[in-house]
Structure 1
Amino acid sequence: MRAVELVRRLSAHELRLIVSIALWTARRRHGTRSGRAFGYVRGQGAMMFGFGFVCVLETVALAVLLRPWPAVERPVFVLDLYGVLQVVGMHAASVSRPHVLDATALRIRRAAHVDLRVPLDLIASVRLETRYTHEKREGELDLAVGAQTTITLELTESIRHFTFLGRPRYVHLIRFHADEPDVLVQAIREMRTLAPAPRTH
């Protein structure tokens, strides 16, 4: 990947994190006007809080230890603050960017780096399936939260998914997490009955 493209993608991700913090602070959610939102943050709330607490402690400790060397303290302090911002942004993105189900598609998201639109007419089956271990396999996408996925989608044909760095992957099976997986699975099944018939080739 070209350096310019990499910088563009990283910058876009940082911007989404900042926007997510603003949305979280305002108690608003992104992209939910046209559909029904389903959260997935409960599985990681405690972990993110703990991680953020450790980052804050590290920031304070290093600021004290490095005070005699201001030339070192200042850049380290900035980097530590950036790390804290990243943790807050990730949690904010998870809260403000939920999964969204509308009449034509299921929008599966994870924080600010995954936003995958799955047309309902490509869903062959959807089921409850709790997994805590995931092996990376060709054609499968695992979007675990707190090391857990609770819903499995099988598709009639592969769809394109872009990795964080922009590499395209084609997937026909998607596992992801939702706070209320049974409610989401039922909603998908009900919406699929109203959607056009699956595509055939």
Structure 2
Amino acid sequence: MSIGELIARARRLAAHEGRWMASLGLWATRRGHGVGAGDTAVGYARAQASTMYGMVFFFSIETVGVSFMLAAYPVAHLVMLILDLYTVVLVLGLHAAAVTRPHVVGQGELRVRRGARLDLRIPLDRIESVRHDLRFPDANKSEDGVLEVVIASQTSITVTLTESVTVVSLWGRRTQVRTVHCHADDPRTAVAAIRQLLPAAG
């Protein structure tokens, strides 16, 4: 990997860090990101909430325990305290990003998102069909032309496209997809909202 590629990846990682950190502020003030007037926000974070809060509790207990264990070693104590506190904030930030960055239906497009990692814009005129489709994908298997936006090991909406859209990963890798599987807290309502705005519905 070249120096230029390493720099590009570092910039993308820094941008990702900035997005989830900003999400903590949005979450605290009960605001959302990227949802305009007339848009429909489609939440998806509820399925992972218990897991994320459980992780926060576990890491908080670990932080206290390690702090006591390393009390006699100031340097190690400080390093581990910083790392442990960062981990707690990171988990909260990732969940905050999922809460404050929902999928969005409106403005001629469907935005499929996964926290601060993914923001895929799909023009509504490229959507061939959308349906409620509860699935539990195998994380070890992938299929060309298919994007799995999994939340809590599940997806509940399948969007089929008439032509491909480009997905850019966190590290900048670009792939073409024509089928998108994603999750919504209320998939039937989300599907109805999308169908209502499809060109064929007009």
**TM-score normalised over the length of structure 2:** 0.93
What's the % identity of the aligned pairs?
A: 41
1:103–1:195 CA contact under 8 A, matched in 2 = no
Q: Where does residue 71 of structure 1 map in the other structure?
A: 75
Distance (Å, rounded) in 2 between the aligned partners of 1:194 and 1:57: 54
Answering whether residue 57 of structure 2 is matched by residue 57 of structure 1, we say no
Q: Where does residue 163 of structure 1 map in the other structure?
A: 169
Gaps of 5+ in 1: 197-201
Find the residue that maps to 1:32 and give its secondary structure.
coil
Q: Where does residue 199 of structure 1 map in the other structure?
A: none
Letter in 1 for 2:29: A
The equivalences for 1:137-156 within 5 A come to 137-156=143-162
Deviations 1:47-86 (A, max 9, x none): 1010111111111111110111111111111111111111
| 1:46, distance to aligned residue in structure 2 (A) | 0.4
Q: Which runs of 4+ in 1 moved over 2 A?
A: 193-196
1:104–1:195 CA contact under 8 A, matched in 2 = no
| 1:136, distance to aligned residue in structure 2 (A) | 1.0
| 1:103, distance to aligned residue in structure 2 (A) | 3.7
Which of residues 40, 44, 47 is equivalent to 1:40? 44
Find the residue that maps to 1:43 and give its secondary structure.
helix
Answering whether residue 23 of structure 2 is matched by residue 20 of structure 1, we say yes
Letter in 2 for 1:160: T
Find the residue that maps to 1:30 and give its secondary structure.
coil
Find the residue that maps to 1:44 and give its secondary structure.
helix
| 1:194, distance to aligned residue in structure 2 (A) | 6.4
The equivalences for 1:107-126 within 5 A come to 107-126=111-130
Which of residues 12, 16, 41 is equivalent to 1:9? 12
Deviations 1:68-119 (A, max 9, x none): 1111111111111111111010111011111110041000111111110011
Distance (Å, rounded) in 1 between the aligned partners of 2:112 and 2:174: 17
Find the residue that maps to 2:198 and give its secondary structure.
helix
Distance (Å, rounded) in 2 between the aligned partners of 1:79 and 1:3: 23
Task: Give the root-mean-square deviation of aligned CA atoms.
Answer: 1.4
1:121–1:195 CA contact under 8 A, matched in 2 = no
Distance (Å, rounded) in 1 between the aligned partners of 2:201 and 2:8: 37
1:105–1:118 CA contact under 8 A, matched in 2 = yes
Q: Where does residue 175 of structure 1 map in the other structure?
A: 181
Distance (Å, rounded) in 2 between the aligned partners of 1:102 and 1:195: 14
Letter in 2 for 1:30: H
Distance (Å, rounded) in 2 between the aligned partners of 1:191 and 1:97: 21
Distance (Å, rounded) in 2 between the aligned partners of 1:195 and 1:104: 13
Residues 107-116 or 132-141, more deviating: 132-141
